Amino acid sequence: MGESASGAVYQTEDEEGLMGVRLSKDVVKVAGKAMEKNLTRIGAYILPISEQIHVVITIIMRLFRSFETK
């Protein structure tokens, strides 16, 4: 995830000197990528085999589509 992930949420001081948390515009995109990565890793443990097959087919179809557009 890199630099965009480390800068998505950060602690900073406001004009009054109070500490707080700021969220960048990238926070939703970074969180979505993190969720996708985590669910991909644990999917084999929590999804039934029929859903695992569906996920594999979907990934393969995405790969073929990406090659067609290049």
Distances (CA, A) of 42 to 1, 9, 31, 46, 48: 18, 25, 16, 6, 12
Domain interval for residue 8: 3-69
Token code pair at residue 38 = 């985590």
pLDDT in tens, 17-69: 999 998 888 899 989 988 988 988 898 899 899 998 998 899 899 998 888 77
pTM over 0.75: no
Q: What's the total number of domains in the chain?
A: 1
Per DSSP, the residues of 1-70 read: -THHHHTTEEEEE-TTS-EEEEE-TTHHHHHHHHHHHHHHHHHHHHS-HHHHHHHHHHHHHHHHHHHHH-
